Amino acid sequence: MYFVYLDESGTGNPAREPFVIVAGVLVNADSQWRSLERYLSDMADDFAKPEDRPGFVFHAKDLMVGGKFIPRDRYSLEKRHHFLQTLCEIPSKFNLQIVVGAAERGDRATDKPEPDNKQLLGEALMLASGTCALVTDEYMKLYRPSEVASLVYEQNGDFNKAVRSFHNFLRSDSIDRHQEGSPGTKVRRFEHVIETAMFVGKGDSSPLQIADTCAYILARRMRRAGGDERFYEPLRPFIRRAPSLMFSDLPVGESEGVRDA
């Protein structure tokens, strides 16, 4: 069985962050999960000051530029960027596949006379997370056909309900009726993604820190923020997407569809 840990980025000011990204990492529950959790705990021991260590979790944005959880006046730029790069190298170290979904908020505003930014963000998150889930299912179907996967999202109370509803739609009889009424649609019922979407905090499920890192670096890459090359390159070979699926024409990386690693 695989757990797929997912987080989002690009949910701030739409003028600066037009793309919403949802990224996830596939973790084998039997052979990878325990050693990955230990590795992340050891990283936190090495990074955090003793007084900060209880409950400490890595936040990619704070490692990049400093912030509330990892202040610049307490952690040097060199140290922060070293550990951010170490996080970006974890998919290579553990052979973790990265699934990605994206949506542009502006695309959803063209048919709305007075677009509601919160509503547009919710719709973009729903579509991006749906893409990620479909790419996961496609990857499992092609390369792990005897396995199943369960999706674990970073807790985000404002939008959990919409994401879970769309997730449940993709695993229900309703998707069959949708396909019948929309000939040619590429969306299909999940075959290998099981259970409903689960939502937990980074402090409760440490692999979410890797998903946070992937989502943040890929979001920066999409909006051409710059300064991310050393962090993006370790991730690039592990990015998986399926161009045959709805919502998955993503300008992320250089990968050519879903492939094994």
Does residue 48 form part of some domain? no
Which element (helix H / strand E) includes 199? strand 193-200
Q: What integer pLDDT is reported at residue 252 of this predicted model?
A: 34
Query: Whole-prediction pTM value?
Result: 0.87
* Residue 151, in any domain of the structure: yes
- Is 260 a member of any domain? no
Q: Each residue of 129-182: pLDDT tens digit?
A: 988 999 999 999 999 999 999 999 998 777 888 888 888 888 887 776 766 666
Give the span between the Cα atoms of 52 and 74, in whole angstroms.
10
The Cα–Cα gap between 54 and 44 comes to 10
Q: Which helix (H) or strand (E) holds 104?
A: strand 98-104
Structural domain contains residue 41: no
Angle at 243 between CA 238 and CA 244, to 5 degrees: 130
Question: Is the separation of the CB atoms in 170 and 132 below 8 Å?
Answer: no
What is the tens place of the pLDDT at every residue in 223-240?
A: 888 888 999 999 999 998
CATH code for position 116: 3.30.420
Q: Is residue 81 part of a domain?
A: no
Number of structural domains found in the chain = 1
74 assigned to some structural domain: no
Query: What domain range includes position 193?
Result: 2-32+95-240
| Distance between CA atoms of residues 2 and 25, nearest Å | 10
Q: Is residue 126 part of a domain?
A: yes
Contact 171, 178 (CB under 8 A): no
Within-domain flag for 247: no
Nearest residue to 25 via CA among 255, 240, 259, 252:
240
